[in-house]
Structure 1
Amino acid sequence: MNIHDVAKKSGLSVVTVSRVINNSPSVREANRQKVLKAMEELNYQPNSAAQSLVRGRTGVIGMSITNFNDSFYDRVIRVVNRKLAEQGYFLALSIAENEGEGDNFLFQKDRVDGIILLSPIEEEQYVAELKRKRIPFVLLDNQFSHDDVSSVLVDNYQGGYDATKHLIELGHTRIAYIGGPSVFLSVAERRRGYIQALADAGLSSFAIEYSGFTVSSGYEIARKWIRDDTLPTAIFAGDDFIALGVVQALREEGIMVPHDISVVGFDDQQFVAEFFPRLTTVRQPEAQLGSIGVDLLLKHINGEMAEPTVTKLAPQLLVRESTAYVKRT
């Protein structure tokens, strides 16, 4: 089947059929319906590559991510993929796990219509490159402030504040913070929320440590505190993997969570509700993050954005079984 068959079946011209296929607003609705009915009866599928050439679009949105082994990223990607599919776009992923990996292969106008950068490692380099190549893009969970770039952020300060305030309300005064790598804005903002919650309660920080976003990192820091006999009564871990490492180290020494020490994580990884004790954590609104990011990008692509916009989303504290009132001695 080809476009001439559709024209013959519908009783209309090839030009009219072409206009319907390319969503031209100049076609009368009655004729549009005739063409669509003919296409359905003939099982005719327009050539997507040809349509892309006509429209000057690829029908592909690129997404650059830094890590695939994380359920937070997984949930964001799923939302983005589903929403783009609803708008007729395909999603292409590029995974840049390490710094200095060179140019991103998606950053070409003939390959994508736009780019979504999710927690980019080479953020400033990527932003400069995409601006230079005039490729529409948005930032999700970015590390720096860009006045001329649209972005969607989670209020990590509020998440750190809420997690710490929860521990304070349980009577804890010796509260420690373990953050991920200090290079990340999210880590700094969670720490800032932690410090402010303590200050509002007339308390000071018991201990602050930085580590990788790994189970082993949390484990090693907790082991050090155990060896030095400097354990707090509560720990706010700025990542669920870190929190689980802490719980494991404490368990090996017979220190029970939450009976002896309370632990709060961050991100609500899919598995944390399946371990015992189920982890109290702060969940990021990944569905909103991905959905708003897609909306902003498509508006940029379609020329509907007058000015860049920055959206900050509120996280949610999920209280489970790893936190309890301070143990009185």
Structure 2
Amino acid sequence: MTAKTLISFERLAPRLRERLRQNRAFWLAAMLAVLAVLLAASLAIGTRSVSLSDVAGALAGHADTIGEAVVTMRIPRTLLALLAGAALGLSGALMQGMTRNPLADPGIFGVNMGASLAVVIGVAWFGIASSQAYIWSAILGAGVTAVFVYAVGSLGRGGATPLKLTLAGAATSIAFASLVIAVVLPRGDIAGGIRSWQIGGVGGATFERILPVLPFLAAGLVLALVSARKLNAMALGDEIAAGLGENVSLGRALSALSSVLLCGAITAVCGPIGFVGLVVPHVCRLLVGVDHRWLLPFSALVGAALLLASDILGRIVARPGEVDVGIVTALVGGPFFIWIVRRQKVREL
């Protein structure tokens, strides 16, 4: 590279950085606007449509029949969809960053199903009933599953390659799904509720169910933001990251702990919702690039928007009934998963 080329590049670099900052600011404003529209739509659309004036009245405290329904049913549901989407999108970005695997996702890696199995065992064998017991069981199950999948994917030559981690996660998820059925089948008294919860949804949300989850989600968010810079370094490779002074093991541990907290807490409340963590980070990379300091917050915003949109769609297509959000995200995520596999090509994973 000639001196003239270097000088030209140095002059061009600030313009590129400024253009990138402007694009990020644009996408941030656009995403916030989309999220605001979806929040209003989630409050207004349901088995019975509610006008925005009635929604505003309910938020202002006017106690009529429609307003009471909005406050007691749709606001908690909307809040839960917002939190669940943000947590799953963020955890997917963390998993893809720390494993450098474009197919990483809490569902594909079996983490959601591990959390589900732990909750089902707790309900069927130990009679747990409180929200705190559900949350701790789910987090424990998610953490044990994450360690197990990583250990299995690390066996053999080459260590934990993306392909081996994906295969280990998929096999674990299938095995745990079968174990859930085996645990539930003899227990007819809990089978109906467990089956409904296993689909994954935000219906029936209440503030009493949401409040115990908030500290765990807050802790997961803080750990995610702390690990953003380390993930940027790890994207260059473990050896280069260590050479830059980053503690690779600590960065991977923080990211894993954050992902486990986010996945486990949300699975305890909503059940296993798949593919949000797979789809969202890829969309966000197209919008804001690969810098995790931007990618992680954007993944939370886009994840919240995706789950809200999926929940609204599920209410519309089956009126007066509804389709659970877990089914809608599977219909969206399945084809996207196939596209990612074809685009990345298995031999490159």
TM over 0.5: no
More helix by share: 2
Q: TM-score, normalised by structure 1?
A: 0.30
More strand by share: 1
State the structure with more CA Rg: 1
Q: Which has the higher contact order (CA 8 A, sep 6+)?
A: 2
